[in-house]
Amino acid sequence: MGEVGGTMFYHDDELQYEVEVEEPNPQFAKMLQQAIGGAEGEMRVALQYMFQAFAIPAEKQEMRQFLMETATEELGHIEMLATAVSKNLEGASDEAREAAREDAVIDEMMRSGQPRQALSAGLHAMPVDSNGVPFTGNYVVASGNLAADLYANVMAESTGRLLATRLYEFTTDPGMKDMLEYLIARDTMHQNQWHAALEALGEHRPVPNSFDQSKENQEYNYTFMSTAHEERENPEQPWTQGEAPDGKGEF
């Protein structure tokens, strides 16, 4: 029966990447929360890749490890961003925080729609998005079908990189820009790695490709259906004519 094989996750005191903030900015701290606990954030990808890995059977160990190693990397991104939030909320000394009434940082925090950051979290990161809505397990897609999961990952890294580039435009702080240049680079890599894994799957569309397509209704599986109130001509778009991308039908 069960034997102890060492712990499964490990932590290193050093940050994956050093996070510095030159001019603390509570507005930016609030925005960074989207990248922690939001639909496009790091908690989502960390947990999504983790639960996807949990579903990979033992005989596909390489894929399981691939997903788990990336999940583990994303845990480090949560820590980087949490550090960035704290540093953007700094400005009052540790003691002065409880007596914070005249503090400009806290005042700004209060005015800007994320008061819980001061009231509930003492000016630190929280598992919520930039509107203060808590992270939810609903964000996690782990379907038990690898192709569907990989598309979910492509999407998560696409909206995640979009968010990071938007954050990049909102800051002039060199430390924050540096951190985001790193995170955006990792998103570039992660988008590419999930695409590479999809390509390695070979022919996999339509997802799931285990379903016998001859059972599909053959009249409707490659036809664009217009729902325009007034009938209109075929707009001759790539989705109304020509070969379907899955190579299995003609629009």
Q: Does 104 bind a copy of itself (CB under 8 A)?
A: no
Q: Does 202 bind a copy of itself (CB under 8 A)?
A: no
Contact between 181 and 173 under an 8 Å Cβ cutoff? The reply is: no
3-class DSSP assignment, residue 187: helix
Q: How far is the CB of 111 from Ca ion (least distance, A)?
A: 27
- Pick what 21 binds: Ca ion, a copy of itself, none; C-beta below 5 to 8 Å, kind-dependent: none
Residue with tokens 């509107």: 131
| Range 204-233, binding a copy of itself (CB under 8 A) | 205-208, 210-211, 213, 215-230
Question: How many other CB atoms sit within 10 Å of the CB of residue 34?
Answer: 20
Contact between 179 and 19 under an 8 Å Cβ cutoff? The reply is: yes
- Pick what 122 binds: Ca ion, a copy of itself, none; C-beta below 5 to 8 Å, kind-dependent: a copy of itself
Q: Tell me, by CB under 8 A, how many residues bind a copy of itself.
A: 168
- Pick what 207 binds: a copy of itself, Ca ion, none; C-beta below 5 to 8 Å, kind-dependent: a copy of itself
Q: Does 62 bind a copy of itself (CB under 8 A)?
A: yes
Residues that bind Ca ion (CB under 5 A): 74, 77
Q: Which two tokens stand for residue 94?
A: 């540790």
Q: At what angle do helices 146-169 and 42-54 cross, to 10 degrees?
A: 170
Q: Which two tokens stand for residue 11?
A: 């932590």
Nearer to Ca ion, 60 or 211 (CB): 211
User: What is the per-residue binding string for a copy of itself in 148-177, x denoting contact by CB under 8 A?
Assistant: x--xx-xx-xxx-xxx-xxxxxxxx-xx--
**Residues contacting residue 224 through CB under 8 Å, at least 6 positions apart:** 239, 240, 251
Q: Does 29 bind a copy of itself (CB under 8 A)?
A: no
Nearer to Ca ion, 77 or 204 (CB): 77
Q: Does 234 bind a copy of itself (CB under 8 A)?
A: no
Among 38, 45, 91, 105, binds a copy of itself (CB under 8 A): 38
Contact between 190 and 46 under an 8 Å Cβ cutoff? The reply is: no
Integer Cα distance of 244 and 246 in angstroms: 6
Q: Does 23 bind a copy of itself (CB under 8 A)?
A: no
Q: Does 87 bind a copy of itself (CB under 8 A)?
A: no
Sort 33 into a burial class: Cβ within 10 Å, 0-12 / 13-18 / 19+: buried
Integer Cα distance of 207 and 114 in angstroms: 41
Q: Does 54 bind a copy of itself (CB under 8 A)?
A: yes
Among 98, 202, 203, 233, binds a copy of itself (CB under 8 A): 98
